[in-house]
A and B are shown apart, each in its own frame.
Chain A
Amino acid sequence: MSLNPLVEIRDLNFTYDKRPVLQGINMTFPKGKLVAIMGLSGCGKTTLLRHIGGALKPTRGYVQMDGQVMHELDQDGLYAMRRKMGMLFQFGALFTDMSVYDNVAFQMREHTELPEEIIHDLVIMKLHAVGLRGAQHMMPSELSGGMARRVALARTVALDPMLIMYDEPFAGLDPISLTVIGDLIRRLNDALGATSIIVTHDIQESLKIVDYVYFMANGVIVAEGTPDELRASDKDFVRQFVHGEMDGPVPFHYPGVDYRQDLNLRA
């Protein structure tokens, strides 16, 4: 990956309850790029994202963002750093007691002294960017899954963050919403000049929009490269993942006793 990184991860290890979740992770996220972290459920993707956000402290190694080591920051420093970040949660995590408008305005009201007229204009612009200006008065319970994700996206970029993190942004979406969200992620990243990290296991949609991909399995990086490099990869794990093959390095059958033994058949 190129120089001038916004986020660097070096020798990151994290152990939870004596179980190693992340082992010796090294990653680089250059400014302006859209990078995906892919892997099966439980491979440590979200844990990695939580380290980047400073929500977890590593057992060894570090995450450095904009020149600052995340786990060395005190609470004020961490909050100052988080104001430069935006995060889209898996199912949006919209505040259910607030309207769409108030959700998008939330950070502006919390972190700025802007007058309400300017906040109004900014909120309308953000909602227009995700195509939901007309839904500003609706409550989160009235939105479809795709709409909720788009509102959450507008809220995530409300303060024009330098780093945008997406935790499974495509989960549970219909094909149209999936394409819309993917397109918005790419366009917003380029329009804002931000750096984006997508944690996902939706390979087809991600490869269309990202610049670089890290593949993770069992807490380690097993492959990395550009989408074209990964499509052409002959590594078994990457091939199984990219082409959605049923059996391979990730076995179809969960380990268990011998089949014949389970059926009480004699050898």
Chain B
Amino acid sequence: MPVTNILRTIGRRVVDAVWHIGVVTRFFFLTLIYSGSCFRRFHLIIKELFSTGVMSLIIIIVAGLFVGMVLGLQGYETLKRYGSESALGVMVALSLVREMGPVVAALLFASRAGSAMTAEIGLMKATEQISAMEMMAVNPIARIVAPRFWAGVISMPFLAAMFSAVGIFGGYLVGVVQIGVDEGSFWSQMQAAVDFREDIMNGIIKSLVFGTVVTLIALFEGFDAPPTAEGVSGATTRTVVTSSLAILMLDFVLTAIMFRGA
């Protein structure tokens, strides 16, 4: 009997998970289908770009600076053992452009913009704003979800690029200005080693994927949240947790595909 119960519980969870994936996929395709109107009225996307992208800049810049400075310190200590301090610029740049930039920026984006999107849409649902929109014959997926989705997808690569750029500057401050690594070799080796297609393009692709996934999770959780205070807080927590895990798992998959044997 306990074995039957365990099997039944596992079965129910599997069915629930498959059903949930189906609902999210349907939500994703509906978002794409109803995206046309927001591109015709691009000011809707611009408004959301401000609240998701521009408003995330401060946290991205501050975090990028400190991550770059830490990379500069740690990198110098490691490279010094092998007499390769001059390669500090390469190490900082590749770490940021390939991995840290897209991943940490996406994690910060999920915490700052993703949670805000979920809470905003969840509260709109709880206060009947979404029902009101439907009663006004305005499709909420076209009017609320699609502009936010595209704003998230568009802003993520720019935020990741900003994170990497500021991070490299942080590495420069610590490595060159504070520790005294040769400035010429810091920049010239970086310029020679960082490949546009292999490193920068792959970083952009990663951040596009992360932006799509994080924004989709945030919007779905908000739209699916029970219309109560508890429901909205639970949905906001799920957005941050699910997005963070999805970013880290996808990063492994994408890294394995992009940089295998490179």
Chain A interface (Cβ < 8 Å from any Cβ of B): 53, 55, 78-80, 82-83, 85-87, 89-91, 93-97, 106-107, 110-111
Contacts and interface: CB of A to CB of B under 8 A. Distances in A.
A96 B120 CA distance: 10
**Highest count of chain B CB atoms <10 Å: which of A53, A89, A90, A91:** A89
A94 B123 CA distance: 12
B128 A85 contact: no
A141 to B, nearest CB: 11
B256 to A, nearest CB: 41
Given A91-B128, A93-B127, A53 B135 contact: yes
Contacts of A55: 131, 134-135
Contact of B137 (A83, A94, A96): A83
Nearest to A78: B137
Interface string B120-151: 10011001110111111111000100000000
Q: Is the interface of B mostly helix, strand, loop or mixed?
A: helix
Contact of A91 (B123, B127, B135, B143): B127
B137 A93 contact: no
Contacts of B137: 78-80, 82-83, 111
Interface in B152-169: none
Contacts of A110: 136, 138, 143
Contacts of B131: 55, 89, 93
**Highest count of chain A CB atoms <10 Å: which of B123, B124, B134:** B134
Contacts of B120: 97
Contacts of B143: 110
B181 to A, nearest CB: 48
B129 A85 contact: no
Contact of B136 (A78, A91, A96, A107): A107
Contacts of A87: 132, 135
A14 to B, nearest CB: 17
24 contacts: A78-B137, A79-B137, A79-B139, A80-B137, A82-B134, A82-B135, A82-B136, A83-B137, A86-B135, A87-B135, A89-B128, A89-B132, A90-B128, A93-B127, A93-B128, A93-B129, A94-B129, A95-B124, A95-B133, A96-B123, A97-B120, A106-B138, A110-B138, A110-B143
A86 B129 CA distance: 14
Interface of B: 120, 123-124, 127-129, 131-139, 143
A95 B129 contact: yes
The 3 closest A-B pairs by CB, nearest first: A79-B137, A82-B137, A93-B132
A96 B132 CA distance: 12
A96 B129 contact: yes
Contacts of B132: 87, 89, 93, 95
Nearest to A75: B139
Given A78-B137, A90-B128, 16 more contacts: A55-B135, A83-B137, A87-B132, A87-B135, A89-B131, A93-B127, A93-B128, A93-B129, A93-B131, A94-B129, A95-B129, A95-B132, A96-B124, A106-B136, A106-B138, A107-B136
Contacts of A106: 136, 138
Contacts of A90: 128
A93 B133 CA distance: 9
A55 B135 CA distance: 8
A85 B138 contact: no
B26 to A, nearest CB: 15
Contacts of A89: 128, 131-132
A170 B127 CA distance: 17
Contacts of A95: 124, 129, 132-133
B129 to A, nearest CB: 5
Contact of B127 (A78, A85, A96, A111): A96
A110 B143 CA distance: 9
Contacts of A94: 129
A79 B133 CA distance: 11
A166 to B, nearest CB: 12
A111 B137 CA distance: 9
Contacts of A83: 137
Nearest to A109: B41
A110 B139 CA distance: 10
Contacts of A78: 137
Nearest to A107: B136
A140 B129 CA distance: 12
Contacts of B127: 91, 93, 96
**Highest count of chain A CB atoms <10 Å: which of B134, B135, B139:** B135
A46 B110 CA distance: 37
Nearest to A53: B135
A78 B143 CA distance: 17
Nearest to A106: B136
